[in-house]
Amino acid sequence: MTKRMNINADMAEGYGPYDIGNDRELLKVVRSANVACGLHGGDASVMRQVVMQARDNNVSIGAHPGFNDIWGFGRRKIEMRSDELEYLVAYQIGALKGMASYAGIEVTHVKAHGALNTMACSNKDYALAVARAIKTVDRDLIHLVIPGSELEAATRELDLAVASEAFIDRTYEDNGMLTPRTIEGSVIRDPALAAERAVQMVQDMAIISRQGTRMATEFHSLCVHGDEPTGLAVATAARKALEGAGVEIVTLPEMMAV
């Protein structure tokens, strides 16, 4: 049996004159793009450009909503009313749908950005806010989440499609959580190592901790980070190794249609 897997990355996080990541090249490697929606990064021009390039590369697109925080890049935790957060997420999904019209493609998933994702993983109110926004704007959207999080629970509670992801370029702890970035070696920058890990994870359908523990985890997508200088090389190596191992790299909707 041929295995299939999705690879996703955050994109469109530039802003006006500011450029971040290497979207053009990364779009040739991933099959799903999480597109910033203008509040933590990604103005309308950047969003449109990524949407066009995604279409040209047969990459599916998702909204990547974040806090209204361009100076903190959406990485600062902000406490706000969960109803206001919900509307902020709905606004961003709608905005990306508008921009997707330029490419004539559909927005097919949502993945929360940065501190919003982190907070909503453990805060049920925030998790439900994100899920409600999705359900209101387009209940066919796939919600891409960290497995086992409140985001996953809220999405199931609202009866929406949920996909989960594992990380190619980050190590895990024995408790299944990501190793904090402050710990040496938590970000994997060696393409060969990342590629080997990616194949193991997909073959075993498990995440593997720094300490070597295998934890069986269902996931539908592997996430790579384009803002690391080594991100493109890591993603490219991982994809090549996966394909070499007989894994077909597909879009998130294709993955979920299995």
Least CB distance from residue 1 to its own copies, whole Å? 39
Question: Of 4, 22, 52, 94, which lies in the binding site for its own copies, with binding defined by CB under 8 A?
Answer: 94
Contacts of 116 (CB under 8 A, 6+ apart): 65, 66, 67, 74, 85, 126, 130
Question: Of 88, 130, 199, 238, which lies in the binding site for its own copies, with binding defined by CB under 8 A?
Answer: 88
User: How remote is the C-alpha of 24 from its chain's centroid?
Assistant: 17
Q: Select from 91, 114, 120, 101 the least CA-distant residue to 34.
A: 114
CA distance 132 to 155: 8
Element (H, E) at 64: strand 60-64
Q: Select from 74, 73, 68, 85 the least CA-distant residue to 126.
A: 85
Least CB distance from residue 112 to its own copies, whole Å? 15
Looking at the Cβ atoms of 71 and 180, the one nearer to its own copies is 71
**In this structure, what is the dihedral angle of CA atoms 84, 87, 92, 94, given to the nearest 10 degrees?**
-170
When asked if residue 84 is in the footprint of its own copies (CB under 8 A), the reply is yes
Neighbours of 136 (CB within 10 A): 15
When asked if residue 125 is in the footprint of its own copies (CB under 8 A), the reply is no
When asked if residue 156 is in the footprint of its own copies (CB under 8 A), the reply is no
When asked if residue 129 is in the footprint of its own copies (CB under 8 A), the reply is no
When asked if residue 110 is in the footprint of its own copies (CB under 8 A), the reply is no
Contacts of 122 (CB under 8 A, 6+ apart): 149, 150
Looking at the Cβ atoms of 97 and 240, the one nearer to its own copies is 97
Q: If binding means CB under 8 A, how many residues of this protein chain bind its own copies?
A: 46
Looking at the Cβ atoms of 26 and 93, the one nearer to its own copies is 93
The encoded tokens of residue 258 equal 């299995």
Question: Of 25, 44, 244, 248, which lies in the binding site for its own copies, with binding defined by CB under 8 A?
Answer: 44
Question: Of 27, 90, 144, 247, which lies in the binding site for its own copies, with binding defined by CB under 8 A?
Answer: 90
When asked if residue 122 is in the footprint of its own copies (CB under 8 A), the reply is no
- Contacts with its own copies, residue ranges (CB under 8 A): 14-20, 38, 41, 43-45, 47-48, 68-73, 75-80, 83-84, 87-88, 90-99, 101-102, 115, 136-138
